[in-house]
Homo-oligomer: A and B are copies of this chain.
Amino acid sequence: MAFLVIRENGFTVQCLVQAQPDTVSPQMVKFAAALSRESIVDVEGVVSIPAAPIKGATQQVEIQVRKLYCISRAVPTLPINLEDAARSEIEIEKALQAGEQLVRVNQDTRLNFRVLDVRTPANQGIFRIQSHVANAFRQFLLSESFVEIHTPKLIAGSSEGGAAVFRLDYKGQPACLAQSPQLHKQMSICGDFGRVFEIGPVFRAEDSYTHRHLCEFTGLDVEMEIKKHYFEVMDIVDRLFVAMFDSLNQHCKKDLEAVGSQYPFEPLKYLRNTLRLTYEEGIQMLKDVGIEIEPFGDLNTEAERKLGQLVLEKYGTEFYILHRYPLAVRPFYTMPCYDNPAYSNSFDVFIRGEEIISGAQRVHVPEFLEQRAAACGIDVKTISTYIDSFRYGAPPHGGFGVGLERVVMLFCGLNNIRKTSLFPRDPLRIAP
């Protein structure tokens, strides 16, 4: 007698290979027992209710095997055992207390053998949730008359300035990889599309070794005409993300459970109407508990996290918008506040105390844009095609950008962005 536990379409089923006159030979039982783990088999058999409950199977049925073919044979010794890769920290700790040492698979080993690692239920859940996030994002925006665009990743010059760009030779011309679709999505608004969005890779050559930075990630970008006020952009953020979170909770229950059973997390707390605080209100809340923030500076990661805690305590939400940031800490193309140019028509959005969205109204007046670029130390000549786009009639507009991997990481309360990138790229990793 031999047991095989097989996975198919997210289910695991136990297959019983037992010698039987006429149908199953002892040789077949031997063949089944000798199959290496993770080999792929075709099975023909009779579905039945097993005598004893089956451990480790999602279905309490059994297939009594009649025919068995090995379609793809895995190497006998796998670099990762799936059992180990699927184990939660809690399980490891519990075993340790009982005097048993269980294998813990470290991050690098997981990523080196990613095709094995992603077979765990938690990882299957993570990437199915990721697929759902992108689709919820798109469906909401399409229903609000946004047009999906695809802007070039290969550009002359650097997309937003700074040193963190990947440079390359483009048919003899110096070029770089877009750090965001910022310039081209704005140009699309100048092209009369009214409201646009894009889902695509963005490239950052930063030497960041944190839990939340990657050198390549998937950007969810939005840009839209503004009729009266930059709050129109925040309204879209508000309704879009509430709709997305609702949709995830409703449609991804099994995937969220799969993630939670290996990496336990509390469901995200969010309000029906997203909380909006001004930057001034935010730093006042921090000041009230004794944390001094430079009024025209920026929040560091620690202050953001602390403010997230305070907001959760006071307002009962882990998702909120902080707006009207000091102009000095925003990119050159950010529109200053009309009533006080030390502030700007901009916002960041936070999940569980971490920034995930950055947005703003943009400067649409070419002369003023030139002036702002120069004031920020940018050589205006290098972005002339961008600035020229505003000379032929440009509507007031704004938008925002989100990292897909961060949304999934923070919605699921995961501790590392490498968990939500299928084949992550960081300063030390460009394979597999």
Residues of A within 8 A of B (CB): 7, 9, 38-40, 71-75, 78-79, 113-119, 124, 127-128, 130-131, 134-135, 138, 142, 145, 147-156, 166-171, 173, 175, 177, 184, 187-188, 190-194, 199-201, 203, 205, 207, 215-216, 218, 364-365, 385-386, 389-396, 404, 421-425, 427-428, 430-432
- Would B72 and A365 count as touching, CB distance under 8 A? yes
Q: Identify the 5 closest CB pairs spanning chains A and B, nearest first.
A: A118-B191, A38-B393, A168-B168, A385-B432, A74-B393
A41 CB to closest chain B CB (Å) equals: 9
From the candidates B72, B167, B428, name the one contacting A171 in the complex (CB within 8 A).
B428
- Would B389 and A432 count as touching, CB distance under 8 A? yes
A182 CB to closest chain B CB (Å) equals: 13
Which of A135, A168, A423 has most B Cβ within 10 Å? Answer: A423
- Would B193 and A155 count as touching, CB distance under 8 A? no
Closest-by-CB residue of B relative to A38 is B393
A149 — which chain B residues lie within 8 A by C-beta?
Answer: 127, 131, 422
- Would B115 and A389 count as touching, CB distance under 8 A? yes
From the candidates B127, B131, B170, name the one contacting A166 in the complex (CB within 8 A).
B170
A119 — which chain B residues lie within 8 A by C-beta?
Answer: 191-192
- Tell me whether A190 and B427 are in contact in the complex, defined as CB-CB below 8 angstroms, given that A135-B138, A216-B154 are known contacts: no
- Would A430 and B393 count as touching, CB distance under 8 A? no
- Would B200 and A124 count as touching, CB distance under 8 A? no
A74 — which chain B residues lie within 8 A by C-beta?
Answer: 391-393
A244 CB to closest chain B CB (Å) equals: 15
- Tell me whether A188 and B393 are in contact in the complex, defined as CB-CB below 8 angstroms, given that A201-B153, A431-B156 are known contacts: no
- Would B39 and A393 count as touching, CB distance under 8 A? yes
From the candidates B192, B207, B431, name the one contacting A118 in the complex (CB within 8 A).
B192
- Would B171 and A431 count as touching, CB distance under 8 A? no
A250 CB to closest chain B CB (Å) equals: 16
- Tell me whether A151 and B423 are in contact in the complex, defined as CB-CB below 8 angstroms, given that A170-B430, A201-B200, A432-B187 are known contacts: yes
Q: List 20 additional contacts besides A118-B193, A119-B192, A173-B430; criterion CB under 8 Å.
A: A72-B393, A74-B393, A115-B191, A116-B392, A135-B138, A138-B138, A150-B201, A150-B421, A151-B423, A152-B216, A153-B153, A153-B216, A154-B215, A156-B431, A170-B215, A175-B430, A184-B422, A187-B423, A191-B422, A201-B201
- Would A142 and B135 count as touching, CB distance under 8 A? yes
Closest-by-CB residue of B relative to A75 is B391
CA distance A150 to B190 in the complex (A): 29
A424 — which chain B residues lie within 8 A by C-beta?
Answer: 152
- Would B124 and A7 count as touching, CB distance under 8 A? no
A252 CB to closest chain B CB (Å) equals: 12
- Would A423 and B124 count as touching, CB distance under 8 A? no
CA distance A309 to B73 in the complex (A): 46
- Would B166 and A166 count as touching, CB distance under 8 A? no
CA distance A177 to B193 in the complex (A): 29
- Would A40 and B431 count as touching, CB distance under 8 A? no
CA distance A93 to B115 in the complex (A): 59
CA distance A167 to B175 in the complex (A): 11
CA distance A404 to B427 in the complex (A): 31
Closest-by-CB residue of B relative to A114 is B191
